[in-house]
Structure 1
Amino acid sequence: MSSHDVHDEHLPAHRSETTPATEPIADPGLPAHQWRPTDVDPAAEKRAERQVATMFGLSAVCTVLFVVSYFVFEIGEVTTTIAGLGASTVALGTTLAGALLFIGIGIIQWARKLMSDHEIVEMRHPAASSDADRAETVAAFNTGLEESGIGRRPLVRNSLLGAIGVLALPVPVVLLRDLGPLPGDTLKSTIWEPDMRVVRDVTGTPIRPADLEVGDLVNAEPAALFETDEEGEPLVEGVELQVEKAKGAVILVRIEPDDITPGPGRDDWGVDGILCYSKICTHVGCPISLYERTTHHVLCPCHQSTFDLADAAKVVFGPAARPLPQLPLAVDSEGYLVAQRDFDEPVGPSFWERDSR
């Protein structure tokens, strides 16, 4: 027997038979469409509309409660609590979450029960969109608007717009209001008063004219920020301290008197060439102290606004639109530098209502 015969003899039975060609599987197509109750029952459709409108209405109620909570629950030294937690935080978080949650639930119910329900087959296409694809996208968007029924369902449309409107108007105002006080008149005055000493900003040490040499620049603060009562408690503390410290911060610089060009009416605002200016840039309020002693220029590190301290702190470069406010100086009976009075103009960045007094 040949080796070929032996090989054929030991072939498996299924290999020795001819396998018929496999037929392609027919496209099964889409399953039969299942109609929703709201598609066939007008009563169910109306009920779904009312459910969606109720969700949007609840969202509007939560938004109103959010605003009410903002003004009702006090925060600070006396904080109202709920279950040991700050009532303001709990109420604001719960009501804002409810406002967003009910809008989301309403939109989901709208899509599931009321928008057109039919199967769509979308063929794959190249990543780059052609003009025809873009036109088709716009057409699909318009079709989606039409199929959403927003034009045919005024109850759903109007309740959604009402909920979004109620949420969009007061909530951002309330949230933005918490970023800080409006300018108003808060920057028009500081804690500086007549005869208040100028002290170093870290140690609170009063400063004599002899302590400064020509070319020196010193960061300083009002002495009132370091004063204490009879029991040793600070007179100004907490948030008030931070606010007054930010507004009252100044820089002291000593320049050769012959190099100084005083502003109108400021001939007696310095002491032996020592001038005092607000430390807060008039552009957006950054603290400044980068000093070039040869040019008498001080530079703001944020946006490079440059002021000439020898010439009434006029702007010589950068986006700042106003000179630095100047604090008039004098010397008290003990020989220490003091303020003649508060600044004659608002400190800090420019704002619409800002003007010199």
Structure 2
Amino acid sequence: MTAPSIVAFLDPVAPEVRAAIEAEAPAGLTLLFATSTAREERLPIAARATVLVGGGGPLPGDLIEASPHLRLVHKWGIGVDKIDLDAAARRGVPVAITGGANAIAVAEYTLMLVLAVLRRLPDNQRRLQNDDFLGARNDARRFHRQLHGKIVGLVGLGAVGREVVARLTPFGVTICYFDLLRPSAEIESRLGVAYRPLDDLIAEVDVLSLHIPYLPANHHLLSRERIARLRPGAIVINTARGELVDEEALAEALVAGHLGGAGIDVFADEPIGGDTPLTCLRLPNLVVTPHLAGSAFDNVGNVARHIFANVGRVLTGEPIPARDLIRTEGVAVTSG
């Protein structure tokens, strides 16, 4: 008798999310769900699995090595920095991502952060709730900025970056980008974007938004030196990975008034609390959120279908699409 194919979801999810995932599961798959991140719960689940699915939490080597039947490690999302790729390589097990499946959700969130920073949205809500209606209105004319007419720079022009371009274009902005994998001139023209070398891009833009995965070669890509080269009043948006940014230097630039603001959804060493260089600040032009950009309930089914399609390919001996397959040797600055 053939053993059942078991897909183990190793990050805890809400009951509604679990139901949405189960609704997309093809016949013949058994789904297991961890209800905590405790190793003692996850390890026996991983030991039974044909496929391991990780989300925002670490997927360490002991879980990968625990399953004698393992055929695929899949990320819910695109960042694999918390997956032990070496352990997967030792097992000869492919690692896949859901390339593009949450690109629209992340792009929408990116645009929301840009506007929230330019208009100081959270600060305005706090002031209204603290009976400062007139003060907030008076300060708006001094401190608020519109997006129209700005130069926006994207680091990364992959699936997320291109969805961001589509949402920025109607605002009447100039869009520049940097990506090691530069597309053709025809694609640049169709998207309405202009290529810039990274350091030129940083020095030219009013809004800098990061859309690349984290790899060791990208650590502190936005370094103290590059933060200093940003234009006075520029804003920084990060919905990619926290390790891409020198958080201490960014916090100092915000406090000093060199930057016009920042919208940060990702941090080094997640999960974090309120005592990091950025989360401890109480600035009207800083918006911080706990890694939410890719999370939208009405996109859960889409991501689940993407994963189950790759599971089916592995089980039937078909190749995983190139955009979803991770090469464990990695590259430097490329788009997600």
**Higher normalized contact order (CA 8 Å, seq sep 6+, divided by chain length):** 2
Q: Same fold (TM over 0.5)?
A: no
Scaled by the length of structure 1, the TM-score of the pair is 0.21
Q: Please give the TM-score of this superposition, normalised by the length of structure 2.
A: 0.22
